[in-house]
Amino acid sequence: MDIQQVISSLKNLNADEATSKYKELCTQLVSAQLADQAQTLLDHLITGNVPKTVSSPSLNFLTEQINKIDDNDALDTFCRYGIEKLKQFPNAFDKADANLKYCLSDLYITEDDYLKAASVLAEIDLDRGSFDNLYKATINVRIAELFADDTIGDVNKADTFIKKARVHIKNITNQLEVSLRYRVTQAKIYDLKKEFLHAANEYYRITTDKTAKVIEDEDIKGLLSKALTCAVLGAVGPQRSRMLGTLHKDKRTHELEFFNIMSSMYKNFLLRKEDVNSFSTKLLEHQKAIVSGTNNKTILEMAVLEHNMLACSNLYNNITFVQLGNLLNANAREAEKVCRKMIGQNRLSGIIDQVDGILYFGRGSSNGTSNASSTLIDWDNEIGYICTEMNAINDKIVAKQ
């Protein structure tokens, strides 16, 4: 095909006819895999004095169809050339520029280079282009997905773009696919930020509302598994107890690989070391991080330590920290430190006797105070009574003198 001759034949057509012919030419070039001639056409549409009413829709069509070129190297060259060429005309061909960057991003994804894929998409200026809310939401979600991928795990950038997507998600309806991708990515970001109970809740909710209609059964199982993992890693407290209860009552979780460890947590049983070790092998890298301020303990080790501490409160009225450390596979000092933190955050009811190194576990009462707390209050009252009586006797002696 003599591309220059074909282009010359379109000069004297009116706008509608010319646009139609240019689109036909685009289809022919792409179908014939003629990437070099498609590049010539792109150059002509940008700089060949073609009326904007013709060049813009024709260029948009060409850049939408170009991804049908099978030769990735030729496609890469085409996209890069087009992006550089369009820089000479800022804001003139926003949609075509976005199409080329989207196509180039796809090429990076095939090479497993998600960082470059995300960076290219992030260069699309969604604020100045004539893009609708659906397109803006889709692009921002896609960028967030890429930054949140396990191979990158850039939670700050992922969070930035998911927040941008949120603005547009609110303004679109009946778009379950992009809404689902948004919510899964948001849950993944909570997970990366180690806000595990927020992540567990979001993963689980996705499987129960209208977005579940477009999810395959195997993907539902995967989301439930993620919810279970995050619930296990969550900090001991009322929020985790509610999450564990919700998951335990859902029959779908009973078939999951690590239902047993989640069930033991829900029932406040002590966790077995072999179950914990097996569970740890399936964790993602960010879930294996060391918790600051601990003796090099991982997130899972701290979650298990806190859980077993709570489980011990159901087995004992009081226990020495040496004995507690032996039960929790920790030393007495670590056991006391964790216990003190949990009591201070109202996640464990109890009183610490530092002199004798004993922890008195509390039992909740109707007025919200534990038996251990009540015992201490009674003791203080007795001391107060004795002091009052001593003062009264002293006053009588002084009066007689």
Q: How confident is the model at residue 297 (pLDDT cuts 50, 70, 90)?
A: confident
The pLDDT value recorded for residue 273 is 87
pTM above 0.85, yes or no: no
pLDDT at 317 over 90: no
Instruction: Kindly report which listed range (58-67, 235-244, 323-332) carries the lowest average pLDDT score.
Output: 323-332
- Looking at residue 310, the DSSP 8-state letter turns out to be H
Residue 158's pLDDT is 96
In this model, does residue 271 exceed pLDDT 50?
Answer: yes
Provide the mean pLDDT of the chain.
88
Spatial CA neighbour of 67 closest among 118, 103, 94: 103
Indicate whether 6 pLDDT > 70: yes
Query: 109 exposed, middle or buried (CB, 10 Å; 0-12, 13-18, 19+)?
Result: middle
Q: Which of 72, 75, 59 is nearest to 26 (CA)?
A: 59
- In this structure, the number of other CB atoms found within 10 A of the CB of residue 365 comes to 12
When pLDDT is averaged across residues 123-127 and rounded to a whole number, the result is 91
Question: What is the pLDDT, as a whole number, of residue 325?
Answer: 82
The DSSP symbol for 295 reads S
β-bridge pairing 318-320 and 358-361 = antiparallel
Q: Which two tokens stand for residue 107?
A: 């090429």
Q: For residues 234 and 310, give the distance between their C-alpha atoms in angstroms, rounded to a whole number.
A: 14
Residue 263 to residue 365: CA distance in whole angstroms: 26
In this prediction, residue 215 carries a pLDDT of: 86
How is the chain split into domains, by residue range?
1-126, 374-401
With contact defined as beta carbons under 8 Å apart, do 219 and 187 qualify? Answer: no
Does the structure show a pLDDT above 60 at 377? no
- Select 1-126's CATH number: 1.10.3470, 1.25.40, 1.10.287, 1.10.1740: 1.25.40
Closest by Cα among 35, 32, 29 to 72:
35
The C-alpha atoms of residue 20 and residue 151 are separated, in whole angstroms, by 44
Q: Say what the pLDDT of residue 331 is.
A: 82
Alpha carbons 49 and 52: distance in angstroms, whole number: 9
